[in-house]
Amino acid sequence: MSYQSQYNQSLIEPEVFWAAQAEQIKWYEAPKTILSTDENGLFRWFEGGKMNTCYLALDAHIEAGRGAQTALIYDSPVTQGFLTYSYDELLHETAKVAGALKSLGVQKGDRVIIYMPMIPQVVFAMLACARLGAVHSVVFGGFAAHELALRIDDAKPKVLLTASAGVEFDRIIPYKPIIDVAVMEAEHQIEHLVVYQRWMHKARLNNDRELDWSDWVANAPPAPCTPVDATDPLYILYTSGTTGKPKGIVRDNGGHAVALRYSMQQVYQVSPGDVFWAASDVGWVVGHSYIVYAPLLTGCTTILYEGKPIKTPNAGAFWRVIAEYGVKVLFTAPTGFRAIRKEDPECLLKLQYDISCLERLFLAGERCDAATLHWAQNLLQIPVIDHWWQTESGWPMLATPIENGQVFPIKPGSAGKPVPGFQIDILDADAQPLNPGEEGAVGVKLPLPPGCLPNLWNATDRFIDGYLSAYPGYYFTGDGGYQDEEGYTYITGRIDDVINVAGHRLSTADMEEIVAAHPAVAECAVVGIDNELRGQVPLGFVVLKTGTQIEEPILEMELVQMVRDRLGALACFKQAIVVKRLPKTRSGKILRRIMRLIADKKPYQAPSTIEDWSTLEEIEEACRERLTLTI
């Protein structure tokens, strides 16, 4: 079936369409109802279906004769640790951890927090929870104690699983001291803490409730799969909330399995046996969906990479992994490729490796600027596909379609067309769809397809107020954008990244696109700052490519002229500051709002997800020295 046929049916006959996709997974009991509403009037998928996500990810493939195939590759350049697990071996490890959890009283519906680095045990733990019907909540290893305490109090876990340490480049981060503080701060008391001891750092266990992982699993009997309802929660994944209290995004079992299995076929075009690499972290939604669950649900080989695009040991790290393991499809954030481009602009390190196995590159997590897109296209000579989705959606909402092996035309700046299941409209203030070319709020027509969040954890009112109330009949994404005549959608950024200059609404994303095209610029961010005369004016922060030599006044003059040539004088882009690094979260998102507050000399609270706190100090110093706007 063609892309357009699938898309049309998914909107006109959603129940027929998703019933057909549900037949691609093995149910213990088939769903009684495809689409229904719960007691809160919220949409639910596959009510009455009985299944188990771990069974679909492991046992089902072994029963089909794929047990000897490699399921998981662990590659850790920071520790020189390299391991592979077949589907048989991954099931053995997972079932043992599930049995060990069961020995601690964990059962269906109980919550387990997983606070771990990118090591195989984190995959065992996630799948083990799914095997028991327990609800896991993965918290990024190294998160601040206060943020971990908030998540403990909200999820109320019975057990917390962790490791003794994580590794950032060559820096060891002990986890136990962070956990000790969090446990003391939290009102809810966990019953057990289990610590996987890593060789580079051993954690001290203080009492009988704190267990050594190896001893814990040593004699645990393997646990079988527990049947769960399709609508039962699989996991909670917390995102930062505007109120200071994190939002617990809930993912159900049935819709999640059906949607992810479909996405691997429709969006990424991979098949059982293919090697799929999502270069992210399991602490983020990309890691949940496309390191752990989707590849294993599909029968692929997935890669768990404990490293960075650069400095582990160099900007050739990605090429090594692709060549060594035969990666067919790579999914990463644009910031990773910008980092490689900065360190190795001519990409000479790529010449050391044969990466002819790589067929497609997918980028998401941050808007992909045209300069990065073109650089990657010219470098790889394969389709480079920007696509767009959110923690809340769990899988892609926009992507350039692939049909009969051929990729639709790729339009720089666009994240593609709506994926089947998602009716995406650009809305005005009255929730009315706008015409092509008109910019507004990006909304998704209800009902959301399977795999998207059905609710927030114990916060239905917050879910309705935050996502469903602003534009009745739609899920509000929080992003702005527009569509062209061919249905390609352009995400221009968060709604609050649109600035108002003397009554003109201008997108900082458009300015970033222009600034990033300068041959000396590796990465940039444009933010709107307060101005007494014009309300707001744009300010650029730029990072130069390694080895570039250009005087800052000359660069600034050239950038100002480039923006003026493209957008006109009304853009009022008159100052650009060169910085060493941009402040980012650990998942690669640039902290534009924080940069704006710093430039405006306003108080700010940096998120616990920040990758390096010193980058904020660098921005503060750069603003003190260079910010002399008198426009």
**pLDDT per residue as tens digits for the range 22-37:** 999 999 999 999 999 9
Say yes or no: 465 and 551 in one domain. no
Say yes or no: 460 and 525 in one domain. no
Any domain includes 30: yes
| Token representation of residue 424 | 């995406």
| % residues pLDDT > 90 (the chain) | 81
Per-residue pLDDT at 81 exceeds 90: yes
Say yes or no: 467 and 508 in one domain. no
Domain span at 551? 497-626
Which distant-in-sequence residues (6+ apart) come within 8 Å of 181 by Cβ? 145, 149
16-20, 193-197, 394-398, 580-584 — which is least confidently predicted?
580-584
Q: Residue 629: what pLDDT?
A: 47
* Alpha carbons 277 and 261: distance in angstroms, whole number: 16
Say yes or no: 380 and 464 in one domain. yes
CATH number (domain holding residue 619): 3.30.300.30
Per-residue pLDDT at 294 exceeds 80: yes
- The DSSP bridge partners found for residue 238 are 248
* Alpha carbons 516 and 520: distance in angstroms, whole number: 9
Any domain includes 289: yes
Q: Helix-strand-coil percent breakdown of the chain, rounded to 5?
A: 35, 25, 40
Any domain includes 354: yes
Q: Higher confidence at residue 514 or residue 99? A: 99
CATH number (domain holding residue 89): 3.40.50.12780
Say yes or no: 469 and 502 in one domain. no
At 201, the amino acid letter reads: H
Q: Residue 370: what pLDDT?
A: 87
| % residues pLDDT > 70 (the chain) | 97
Do 302 and 353 touch, CB atoms closer than 8 A?
A: no
Any domain includes 171: yes
Do 200 and 165 touch, CB atoms closer than 8 A?
A: yes
Per-residue pLDDT at 513 exceeds 90: no
Q: Residue 631: what pLDDT?
A: 40
Domain count, the chain: 2
Q: Higher confidence at residue 169 or residue 87? A: 87
pLDDT tens digits, 357-369? 999 999 998 778 8
Last residue of some domain: 481, 510, 526? 481
Say yes or no: 523 and 449 in one domain. no
* Alpha carbons 272 and 69: distance in angstroms, whole number: 10
Say yes or no: 463 and 586 in one domain. no
Q: Residue 504: what pLDDT?
A: 60
Say yes or no: 394 and 527 in one domain. no
How do beta strands 70-76 and 301-305 pair?
A: parallel
Say yes or no: 476 and 502 in one domain. no
Say yes or no: 475 and 592 in one domain. no
Say yes or no: 508 and 469 in one domain. no
Last residue of some domain: 481, 512, 530? 481
Any domain includes 490: no
Say yes or no: 382 and 516 in one domain. no
Q: Residue 382: what pLDDT?
A: 97
Q: Residue 448: what pLDDT?
A: 98
DSSP-derived letter for residue 356 is T
pTM (two decimals): 0.86
Per-residue pLDDT at 494 exceeds 80: no
